[in-house]
Structure 1
Amino acid sequence: MTRAFTRKGEATRARIVTGAAAEVRDRGVDEVRLEDVLARTGTSKGQLFHYFPDGKEELLLAVAQHEADQVLIDQEPMLSNLTSWPAWLAWRDRLIERYLAQGVKCPLNGLLGQTGRRAPGAQAIVTALMWRWQKAITEGIRHMQSTGDIAADVDADRAAAALLAGIQGGVLLLLSTGKIDHLQAVLDLTIDSLRSGARVTGGQERNGNG
């Protein structure tokens, strides 16, 4: 159950989470100590356990949620405004820029790898992130269908799901190889496919000549 805090309490909790997130990015999740978080955020041990009674594991789960939210925040305002092809290309560029800057170190992946073994909330964080991300892409596709820029018979939900799956695959390959090429390729080819009216259904590509 989510506990309610005062505005000041929410600000204190947010400061602790932000500081812990910075520690994770700087040191890696395995090296984070509560003492370092306290020093970085200027909070007492009593304050930390007031907001995170279960200690480090609960704090890391909150940091994972923070990082999941940041994935979408980093794509704004482009992700929420996929209303023209220039807007889609701007989103594509923002996504590439974000993951180039992140490189092979993914704090969210490290956090969920740790908390996933012990906290059932980890899967809920990933599920919610992917649902919100897919929903934004779906809304963009539907808007483009309303203006005639994407074919009306494209299944917006499935197309968004396929694009998101491609993005995740590209990110995984980036983490494995250090190369952004696969992510660039899936974004470029999928956007070109939507733009040309092509559609992918059940693993088979179909266009006006098929």
Structure 2
Amino acid sequence: MSGALTAKGQATRARIVKGAAEVLREQGVALATLDDVRARSGTSKSQLFHYFPEGKDQLLLAVAQFEADQVLDDQMPHLGCLDSWDAWDQWRDAVLRRYEQQGDHCPLGSLILQVGRSTPGARAIVTELMRQWQEYLAAGMRALRSAGHLPASFDTEQSAAALLAGEQGGVSIMLSTGRSTHLRAVLDSAIGQMRAAMRAAEVE
């Protein structure tokens, strides 16, 4: 539907999705209602069902895509140009800063713990997000390897997968404890291991 909407219609739909995302982050899927979404987004019942005629499940799918897009957008432009050690350090700082600022309103936490479990469609969106995210990390590692900053034998796919898993785990712990210590440790360790791999190769 969104492709055929007027600019005003697109803005209204986006406002509904954004309002729903905020409500779901605060209340969770089980407790959030469409009335809560209408109140937060300032829309009427007829407007909500005009854009989401299938009701809550359709809205949840839109929220899942919104949150998935936000997770990647929050790391840009750094995530898309990890071609030097300085770029990796800047990405690391941006990730820490963003997640510390977001706290309990983290889109990744909402997506993984709440919305992403709601429907098969939402799970598919989470799966695609993780694929894209891992590919950005792997592409950055390949760029370092091509520039001679990582040894030719460095396994970019496995390392990217491990970093993604660690980053997600660090965010989950931060949401549970309010402290970014583990997320910071994961990022520092991953970058440190890459630098160590290059030093070891130079010694050989």
TM-score grouping bracket, smaller chain normalisation? 0.7 to 0.9
1:100 aligned partner: 100
Q: Which moved more, 1:161-170 or 1:42-51?
A: 42-51
Contact 1:64 1:108 in 2 (8 A): no
Aligned equivalents of 2:89, 2:117: Cα separation in 1: 38
Aligned equivalents of 1:118, 1:22: Cα separation in 2: 16
**Unpaired segments ≥5 residues, structure 1:** 200-206
Aligned equivalents of 1:102, 1:20: Cα separation in 2: 17
Q: Verify: 1:50 aligned to 2:50, yes or no.
A: yes
Q: Among the aligned pairs, what percent are the same residue?
A: 54
Q: How many Å apart are 1:180 and its aligned residue?
A: 1.3
SS at match of 2:151: coil
1:203 aligned partner: none
Contact 1:24 1:107 in 2 (8 A): no
Q: Verify: 1:128 aligned to 2:110, yes or no.
A: no
Q: TM-score, normalised by structure 1?
A: 0.83
Bigger relative contact order, structure 1 or 2 (CA pairs below 8 A, ≥6 apart) = 2
Q: TM-score, normalised by structure 2?
A: 0.85
Contact 1:64 1:125 in 2 (8 A): yes
Q: Which moved more, 1:26-35 or 1:157-166?
A: 26-35
Relative distance call for 1:114 and 1:190 in structure 2 (3 A) is closer
**Unpaired segments ≥5 residues, structure 2:** none
2:88 aligned partner: 88
Relative distance call for 1:117 and 1:157 in structure 2 (3 A) is closer
Q: Verify: 1:164 aligned to 2:164, yes or no.
A: yes
1:186 aligned partner: 186
Partner AA of 2:162 in structure 1: A
Q: How many Å apart are 1:188 and its aligned residue?
A: 0.6
SS at match of 2:4: coil
Aligned equivalents of 2:48, 2:56: Cα separation in 1: 9
1:64 aligned partner: 64
Aligned equivalents of 2:117, 2:186: Cα separation in 1: 31
Deviations 1:16-63 (A, max 9, x none): 111222333455544433234324434332221122122123212311
SS at match of 1:123: helix
Q: How many Å apart are 1:198 and its aligned residue?
A: 6.0
Relative distance call for 1:169 and 1:37 in structure 2 (3 A) is closer
1:6 aligned partner: 5
Q: Verify: 1:196 aligned to 2:196, yes or no.
A: yes
1:202 aligned partner: none
Q: Which moved more, 1:37-46 or 1:119-128?
A: 37-46
Relative distance call for 1:73 and 1:109 in structure 2 (3 A) is same
Relative distance call for 1:111 and 1:56 in structure 2 (3 A) is farther
Aligned equivalents of 1:112, 1:121: Cα separation in 2: 13
Which stretches of structure 1, 4 residues or longer, exceed 6 Å deviation after superposition? Answer: none
SS at match of 1:144: helix
Over the aligned positions, Cα root-mean-square deviation in angstroms equals: 2.6
State the number of aligned residues. Answer: 202
Aligned equivalents of 1:119, 1:85: Cα separation in 2: 39
